[in-house]
Amino acid sequence: MQVRRLAAWTALPLAVTLGLAACGGSGGGTGESNPDAAVRIEIAEPQHLVPTNTNETSGSQVLAALFSPLVDYDAENKPYEVAAESVTSTDNTTWTVKLKPGYTFHNGEAVTADNYLDAWNYGAYGPNGQNSSYFFEKIAGYTDLQAASGTPKAKTLSGLKKVDDLTFTVTLSEPYSEFKTMLGYTAFYPLPKAAFSAPGVLAEGYEQAPVGQGPFRMKGTWQHDAKVEVEKYDAFPGTKPKVAGVEFRIYQQPTAAYADVLSDNLDVIKTIPTENLSTAATDLGDRFQQSPASSLQVLAFPTFQKEFSNPDVRKAISMAIDRDEITKSIFKDSQQPARSFVSPVVAGYRENTIGAAGEFDPAKAKAMYTAAGGPAKIELSYNGDGGHKDWIDATCNQLKANLGVECVGNAEPKFADLLTKLKAKESVGLFRMGWVMDYPSMENYLGPLYSSNGSSNYYGYANPEFDQLLAEGAKAANEEAAVKKYQQAEDLLAKDLPVIPLRYGQNNFGHSTKVKNVEMDLFDRVDLLKIEAVK
C-alpha cells in the first residue's frame, strides 16, 4: 500500500515500505549470470492488476514487469525519460509528452498517445471507482469527472489533448513544476485498445492477463493465491532484462516466504518479518540487505490546542525523546532515526533540518519545558492495530523520566477512529502519524501534510508564509528552483515543529543464493531490469 497514506503499516506485514535503489547489488551469488533462468519473487495476493486501480506494492510489482513507465528515477532520485522521448513545459501548466517510437503492446498493437489518454481518462472517471484516481486530480477537468451521486458532467479530462500519434499535451489546473516526477508511478501506464470492450469500459477479464508494453509479458493468467508468471518480451525496445522470466509467488505470511528463501525455494523476499530480523544477518550473510524507504513516522501535535500551541513546548518534548535508543532497542535497527521532514529518498533532502530540537538533551528539554509552561500530563494516541504500543510506551517512559510529566498511551482501535476524533477537534493529545510518498518529490511530503488546506493536515497547522513558499515552488522555473523553495518551507516547519520526525522506514530484504544484483526501487519493488540469475 504504497500510496498517500497515513500509514498504519505495520498492521499488514506485507504492505510495508517503499524503497530506494541505493545499496545492494554486491551481495549474494557470485557465479556467472544465467540469462535463460527465471527468478522467483515473493508478493502478497494483488488486489488488482489494472494500473489505475493498483495502489499496493504487490500489484505494483507485477505491473512494473508488464509495463514500462514514462519516466524512471536516477541515482539522485531525479526523473529521466524511459518510454517518453521528452516531457517538457514552458509554464509548468501545459506539459507536452512525446513518446519514443517503437514501443508495442504484447498483443502487437503499437503504443500511441491514445493509449495514454484512454487509460488516464478511465482512471480519472469517478464512477469507475479506481483506487489511484486521485493521481489525476492535478489535471484540468478532473472535478468534472467526479460526482457524489448520479453521472458526472464529463467522461474525459479536458486537460488531455492528442497532438499526433506520439505526442500529447497535459494541461494542469494549476502550475506544478514537478509534474514530470509524478509520471513514474503505476497509475500513469498506458492501456492497449484491447483492454477496452467499448470506449471507457474496461474489458472483463483484462486484469486476469494484463497486456502491457513493458519488458515482460504474461505467461498464462493470474493464478489467484498461487502465482503470476511473466516471460521476457522480445520486441521490447528499451533496456532488456537479464532474466528470462519472473515468477511472482503469492504468500500470505512473510515468515513462510522467509523459510523458502533460506532453503533456496524462493529467490527474493522484499520484507523480512520482524521476528526474523535479529537472525537475518547470520542466516543470510550478505544476502540480507537494507535500503532507505520513503516512509516517515512522526508524533504530531494538535497545534489547535492551547497547551501545545507554543513551539517551545513542542521542541522540549522532541528533545526529551531519545530516537536512537528507541530505533535500536524497539525496532532492532529495522528503521532509521529521522531528524528532517522529508525522506532521504527524494531530491532536496537534507540531514537534520530540525537542528537542536532533534538532539537528545534531557536537562535542556526539562528547563525549556518548564519555562514554556508545558502541560503536566501528556497523552500519546495511536492506532492499536498497527503494532505501535511498544514504541509509544517507550516514548512515554522517556517523557516521564526526562520531563517529569505524567504520560499515558491511548490506543484507538483503528487509525480511522483517531482521524474521526481529530476532525472533530476532540482532545487526543499527541498522536502518531506515518507517511508514505506517492511520488518522489519534497512537495509530496510537505503540501498534503502541512499546508493550511492540506488533505492530511490534522494538526491545525496554518502558516501563510509556508503556503506561499509551496505555491512559489509549484510555479518555479525548474526542479532545482522548486527544491530551493521547498527547502525554505521545510526550514519554517523546523522553526514551528508541528510534528516531531521520529523514524524513516527501511527496506529489509533478502535473497537466495541463486540470484544476484537484487535492488529495490523507490516504490518498494525489486528492480526487474537489474536482477540476475546465477548459473
- Name the site residues for other proteins (rule: CB under 8 A): 1, 3-8, 12, 15, 45, 47-48, 55-56, 126-131, 133-134, 145-149, 152, 223-227, 249-253, 255-257, 259-260, 262-263, 265, 413-417, 455-456
Closest listed residue to residue 17, CA positions, set 347, 320, 343:
343
Q: How far apart are CA 99 and CA 70, in angstroms?
A: 8
Nearer to other proteins, 139 or 403 (CB): 139
Minimum distance from CB of 248 to other proteins (Å)? 12
Identify the DSSP state of 219: S
Cell of 426: 476532540
- Going from the C-alpha of 347 to that of each of 20, 138, 403, 497, 502, the distances in angstroms are 12, 21, 36, 22, 20
Nearer to other proteins, 72 or 207 (CB): 207
Which amino acid, one-letter code, is at 327?
Answer: T
Nearer to other proteins, 147 or 477 (CB): 147
Minimum distance from CB of 4 to other proteins (Å)? 6
- Cβ atoms 460, 301 nearer than 8 A: no
Q: How far apart are CA 277 and CA 296, in angstroms?
A: 20
CA–chain centroid gap for 34, Å, is 32
Minimum distance from CB of 253 to other proteins (Å)? 5
Nearer to other proteins, 130 or 177 (CB): 130
Nearer to other proteins, 235 or 256 (CB): 256
Q: How far apart are CA 141 and CA 160, in angstroms?
A: 9
Spell out the alpha helix ranges (H) of 125-253.
Answer: 179-182
- Cβ atoms 212, 115 nearer than 8 A: no
Phi, psi of 285 (to 5 degrees): 65, -130
Q: How far apart are CA 458 and CA 250, in angstroms?
A: 36
Nearer to other proteins, 110 or 259 (CB): 259
Cell of 205: 477479464
Minimum distance from CB of 157 to other proteins (Å)? 14
Long-range contacts of 385-394, Cβ-Cβ distance < 8 Å, separation of 24 or more: 385/8, 385/11, 385/413, 385/414, 385/415, 386/8, 386/9, 386/10, 386/11, 386/415, 387/10, 387/11, 388/10, 388/432, 390/330, 391/326, 391/330, 391/331, 392/432, 394/326, 394/329, 394/330
144 contact partners, CB below 8 Å, separation of at least 6: 152, 153, 154, 158
Minimum distance from CB of 363 to other proteins (Å)? 38
Minimum distance from CB of 215 to other proteins (Å)? 25
Nearer to other proteins, 147 or 367 (CB): 147
Minimum distance from CB of 205 to other proteins (Å)? 12
Minimum distance from CB of 46 to other proteins (Å)? 9
Minimum distance from CB of 8 to other proteins (Å)? 6
Nearer to other proteins, 6 or 407 (CB): 6
Nearer to other proteins, 149 or 478 (CB): 149
